Structure 1
Amino acid sequence: LFSFIAAKETLRKQLSYQGHLYSDFVNQASTRPYFWPPESLPGANSTQDEGVHLIVCVHGLDGNSADLRLVKTYMELALPGEKIDFLMSERNQADTFADFNVMTDRLVGEINYHIEMYGFTPNKLSFVGHSLGNLIIRSALSRPDMTHLLPKLHTFLSLSGPHLGTLYNNSGLVNMGMWFMQKWKKSGSLLQLSMKDHSDPRQTFLYKLSQKTGLEFFRHILLVGSQQDRYVPYHSSRIELCKAALRDTSDILLAGAVYAEMVSNILQPIVFKSDITFIRYDVFHALPSNANTMIGRAAHIAVLDSELFIEKFITVAALKYFK
């Protein structure tokens, strides 16, 4: 035990990390064992109808509806007997290189159709997004067709979401790959992510999205990012300023000033509401030494396919915010 504690503190100093590590937590978020029969759960015989908690899972670029299956699985295992309904979004999986406005229309239609088809009004509405899917979620919340659902918003879990785009991505290899993909696919979404969709950065999709409402209606906002992820800039996933933006004074209309405004636009409505839980999580994955790790892809998809990470994160940290 002493050796373990000494090793953990050594690691914390090496990483200059001030947050909590998994082993710092005494208890898990859920004390219910997996596979408990619903009828044996505390309060299972309550006559009070608490309604349905709808959790919408939205995949990222070139993804599909099965990408977030492990998140769904561990939530269902850890919350047996709960009235949870999952919508694994699939309307955009055939074309994630489309314009964000087009993908937003598809997601809004899919959510409203799901609620209408199954004939229920959710008591709570939560979202889990990966990568580009988080921007589609935020864009959807600003649409008039979603206004009736805003008071029901509960938790937003963002896994590696490029909330500020890829403007200050420090990986030249990834930037080159994204540029090539944008040209080859004629991708509207990649163009918008790089804030190249308008000559005036304040007229770009991402800047306008930062000015729209949506996140402040959630009770809990959880942002997950990793410095090992080179696909999505670490500061973009955390919605915070980076040193490159602070040093960028090349043009009053460009980059640094606009980036700072976007951060302020998104965070101000959140930080001034005392009843919102806003948490940033840093993830350090144990990754093999290979090409995927080197270019940052391995960390980007580890939040989807690493059972070790997903089980620990859901049961120890995130689960309580979905109850």
Structure 2
Amino acid sequence: MLGDGTLSFLKAKEDFKRQIHFNGTLYSDIHPINPTSPYFHVAEELRPFSPEGLHLIVCVHGLDGNSADLRLVKTYLELVLPGSNLDFLMSERNQGGTFSTFDTMTDRLVSEIFCYLEGNNLNPKRISFVGHSLGTIIIRSALTRPQMRPLLPKLHTFLSLSGPHLGTLYNSSGLVNMGLWLMQRWKKSGSLQQLSLKDAEDPRSSFLYRLARSSELHHFRYVILSASAQDRYVPLHSARVEMCRAAVKDPTVLGTIYQEMVHNILGPLMNNDKVTVVRYDVHHALPSTANALIGRAAHIAVLDSELFIEKFLLVVGSKYFQ
């Protein structure tokens, strides 16, 4: 028999679906409202772990960030996977240096990874990466380095949170574009210049284009792309790695360049049936503030919204790290 609380929930859910004219299926329509096992249940088969079963998760912050930015991701993965042998490297080598070029930041991250492995005498069986914003590009760049080749067979999950994989081209927010331009000039930022594909006279010689051509994402078992239309800092199509109407209609070389970048990144993924690519579109409940208006609130909500991180990892995200 259903209790009063459950009945109230079901009634409120049906009222909500009618109000928004929603004819699809909600998560609670499929799964039982009262789960049969707790969120933090430790399955018996997960308890016995040998040192060879170590799963290293490398978390890389974004522009002007720090090693604590992804602390909630670490916390909830540890909570939801208590029987797993997890170890976390919260990258800090690029703190205060994210306005450098991506080549410089890549060198720092690669060095940090090997220092961590050697300093702690670790030989992980699996390695996953979680990146926010600009950090996702540093991760992809690091994977192209020759030193990282021995680690490629160990790659498991790549979780991209608002990653500008196609740069900041075709951003619909003029205000953000102006802000990024001013910051690029003020900070003399190599990374922001590279994200706008203005670091080379020929766009095909730009950092992002060359990175797309040498993408190593197909070595992962799971590639998870999280994006939000409310995020004005990183265009939705860039975070989702997909074509956009503006690029298709663009008669200049940039339109062609953009289409080639999408193909170069997705091609190896689509041709490898061992890789699972999942896109998640996120809509945050944000207050009406200036940060929400310019899109900054949604860009950082994936870091500081405990509600989002808890629900994302407990409901759908944790399975990619098991």
Paired amino acid for 2:174: G
Q: Which runs of 5+ in 2 are unaligned?
A: 1-9
The SS at the match of 2:225 is strand
**Match of residue 206 from structure 1:** 208
**TM-score for the superposition, normalised by structure 2:** 0.92
Asked if the contact 1:225–1:281 (Cα under 8 Å) also holds between the matched residues in 2, the reply is: yes
The SS at the match of 2:156 is strand
**Match of residue 74 from structure 1:** 76
Distance change in 2, residues 1:296/1:147 (3 Å): same
Distance change in 2, residues 1:21/1:97 (3 Å): farther
Kindly report the root-mean-square deviation, in angstroms, between the aligned alpha carbons of the 2 structures: 2.1
Asked if the contact 2:224–2:277 (Cα under 8 Å) also holds between the matched residues in 1, the reply is: yes
Deviation, 1:276, is 1.0
**Match of residue 13 from structure 2:** 4
**TM-score for the superposition, normalised by structure 1:** 0.91
Task: Describe the superposition over 1:32-89 as per-residue Cα deviations: whole angstroms up to 9, x where unpaired.
Answer: 544x7xxx75136647555210000000000000000000000001111311000000
**Match of residue 5 from structure 2:** none
**Match of residue 284 from structure 1:** 283
Structure 2 CA distance, aligned partners of 1:111 and 1:9? 51
Structure 1 CA distance, aligned partners of 2:32 and 2:192? 41
**Match of residue 234 from structure 1:** 236
Asked if the contact 1:56–1:86 (Cα under 8 Å) also holds between the matched residues in 2, the reply is: yes
Paired amino acid for 2:165: H
Deviation, 1:5, is 2.7
Deviation, 1:106, is 0.3
Matches within 5 A, 1:147-158: 147-158=149-160
The SS at the match of 1:158 is strand
* Runs of 4 or more consecutive aligned structure 1 residues displaced over 6 Å after TM superposition: 27-30
Deviation, 1:30, is 11
Deviation, 1:255, is 1.2
Match of 2:122 among 104, 120, 124: 120
Deviation, 1:147, is 0.3
Residue 139 of structure 2 is aligned to residue 130 of structure 1: no
**Match of residue 256 from structure 1:** 255
Asked if the contact 1:30–1:78 (Cα under 8 Å) also holds between the matched residues in 2, the reply is: no
**Match of residue 301 from structure 1:** 300
Matches within 5 A, 1:184-223: 184-223=186-225
Deviation, 1:116, is 0.4
The SS at the match of 1:43 is helix
Residue 25 of structure 2 is aligned to residue 26 of structure 1: no
Structure 1 CA distance, aligned partners of 2:113 and 2:289? 39
Distance change in 2, residues 1:171/1:271 (3 Å): same
The SS at the match of 2:234 is coil
Structure 2 CA distance, aligned partners of 1:314 and 1:77? 10
Asked if the contact 2:106–2:142 (Cα under 8 Å) also holds between the matched residues in 1, the reply is: yes
Deviation, 1:273, is 1.1
